[in-house]
């Protein structure tokens, strides 16, 4: 099968997740094209058997570049099996209010773009202090403190469960059938 993987990233964790997915699929003998959404505009989605999109949640919304790409490609995306990897720190926990917020943000994204993913996987992100400026680092430490998370100043902390992500990806791929493309 031929997979398109597009992603938008703010601090690099979503790019790392998309690369993991691409490497896993390629390691299983699948064909993969991995693109930042800013480089994916106008690509013919009819060439692919399935699409995986990944974006991270920041301040209540996904990246604007991801929203623009999905809105422009929504008709073609609707013809493909799709998986949306929704990356956030909230996905690392079990707080019902956080999960309600994740569902609300996803619903707003779907409404804004006119696209409903075939499947959604919420993936825990990371504190990427190496990527933050002073003010963002301060805000992220404050958020961590409010959630009872201990973070060391200047040290990144990753919450992504790579094993769980791999199993979810494998289960999704196992349910796919190659598309019959028009000649």
| Domains of the chain from N-terminus onward | 2-125+160-174 (3.40.50.360), 128-158 (no CATH)
Is residue 158 within 8 A of residue 105, CB to CB? The reply is no
SS3 content of the chain, % helix, strand, coil (to 5): 45, 20, 30
Cα(173)–Cα(1) distance, integer angstroms: 9
Taking only the tens place, the pLDDT of each residue in 3-21 is 999 999 988 899 999 999 9
Cα(143)–Cα(28) distance, integer angstroms: 38
**pTM beyond cutoff 0.75:** yes
H-type alpha helices, 28-119:
64-77, 96-113
Taking only the tens place, the pLDDT of each residue in 67-114 is 999 999 999 999 999 999 999 877 877 888 878 889 999 999 999 999
Both tokens assigned to 165? 């992500």
Give ∠ CA 176-74-55 in degrees, rounded to 5. Answer: 75
Residue 3 has φ and ψ, to the nearest 5°, of -110, 135
């Amino acid at each position: 099968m031929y997979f398109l993987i597009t992603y938008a990233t703010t601090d690099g964790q979503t790019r790392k997740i998309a690369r993991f997915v691409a490497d896993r699929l390629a390691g299983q003998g699948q064909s993969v094209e991995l693109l930042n959404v800013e480089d994916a505009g106008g690509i013919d989605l009819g060439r692919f058997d399935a699409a995986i999109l990944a974006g991270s949640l920041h301040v209540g919304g996904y990246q604007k570049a991801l929203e623009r790409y999905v809105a422009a490609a929504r008709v073609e995306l609707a013809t493909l099996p799709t998986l949306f990897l929704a990356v956030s720190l909230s996905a690392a926990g079990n707080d019902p209010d956080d999960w309600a917020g994740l569902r609300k943000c996803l619903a707003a994204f779907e409404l804004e773009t006119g696209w409903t993913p075939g499947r959604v996987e919420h993936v825990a992100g990371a504190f990427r202090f190496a990527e933050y400026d002073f003010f963002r680092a301060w805000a992220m430490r404050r958020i961590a403190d409010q959630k009872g998370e201990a973070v060391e100043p200047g040290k990144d902390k990753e919450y992504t469960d790579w094993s769980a992500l791999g199993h979810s990806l494998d289960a999704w791929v196992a349910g796919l059938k190659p598309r019959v493309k028009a000649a």
